[in-house]
Amino acid sequence: MMHRRHFLAASVAAGATLAAPAVWGQARQTIKIGLAPQQATQSETRKVWEPIYKIVADRMGVGLDLTVANDWAGISVALASEQIDATQMGPWGYVLARAKGEAKIACTMLVNGEPTYRAVIVARPGLKIDNWPEGARGLSMQMLDVGSTTGWMVPTHWFRQRGLEPKTFFGRYAEGASAAAAQVAAANGQVDLATGWDIHRNTMIRNGTIKADSNTVVWESDPLPNEVVAVRRGFPEEMRIALRDALVGLTDEQKKLLPWPYTGFVPGEHKPYEVLEKMGRDLGVLKAS
């Protein structure tokens, strides 16, 4: 997943790059899809996803207006201000948007046939930890940005639930690395341990950025719910269902258009995402409802 697993900041400037507020009810209805630049560039993102959403729009009997924003913040603002009808969101971004009343889930995205993924901690080559987590005490740890679902929130919650504060448990602790930089730092032996998520690590291996034995997974989380396709708060319910059914109903041949590692969509419900809500409340980054 190219993303994506970061808190969505509210950035009016970023949101300003998107189209005017969505209008529903014109003679020829148009669905406005907004995407963050999930591929390397905005143009590549459009090239990858526009054919899929053109199929979806045709199935719904509507026109398509697809916009690729500069960043994830722009998409968050656009959905909140109803400038777009729907978007693909990371699981934590969806939880935050739902908490503010800005988003409803339509679908959960499948990755390699599964609606889940896992947070991981990897170790540098040759490092063996027999007793986890006690065997890692005093080692160096590189976590991702504090806005990362799997690179900060999930592992931090796991340690704190066991009475361990990462900042003092590890001998040298750092935050703020990108997912790719953290994987490479562990592979190069610059740090003993680094956080991340399984799909991203597997993508780096597939792309040849690291080898399968460049670092070793020493911990993984319980399954976490995948990305979602979410709609704005005012989007008509019958159209949310139509969007859901069009995505879920993609044929096997049409699914081949999806970028690796995505393999399809399943109807979405909020319940699997409650685990992230609880983590957010426990860590004080989501207000109790």
- How does pLDDT run across 179-218, given as a tens digit for each residue? 999 999 999 999 999 999 999 999 999 989 999 999 999 9
Q: What is the pLDDT of residue 71?
A: 78
Structure confidence at residue 26 (pLDDT):
46
pTM, 2 dp: 0.84
52-to-32, 146, 185 alpha-carbon distances in Å: 14, 33, 36
Provide CATH 3.40.190.10 ranges for the chain: 30-113+226-283, 119-221
pLDDT of residue 23: 47
DSSP 3-state helix, strand, coil percentages of the chain (rounded to 5)? 35, 25, 40
Q: What is the pLDDT of residues 30-86, one digit of tens each?
A: 999 999 887 778 898 999 999 999 999 999 999 999 999 887 778 888 999 999 999
Please tell me the distance from the alpha carbon of residue 187 to that of residue 249, in angstroms, as a whole number. Answer: 41
DSSP state, residue 221: P
Q: Is the pLDDT of residue 256 over 80?
A: yes
Q: What is the CATH number of domain 119-221?
A: 3.40.190.10
Which CATH fold would you assign to the domain 30-113+226-283?
D-Maltodextrin-Binding Protein; domain 2 (3.40.190)
Greatest Cα-to-Cα distance within the chain, rounded to the nearest angstrom: 66
Q: Which of 89, 106, 72 is nearest to 239 (CA)?
A: 106
pLDDT of residue 9: 35
Mean pLDDT along residues 139-157: 93
One-letter amino acid at 11 equals S
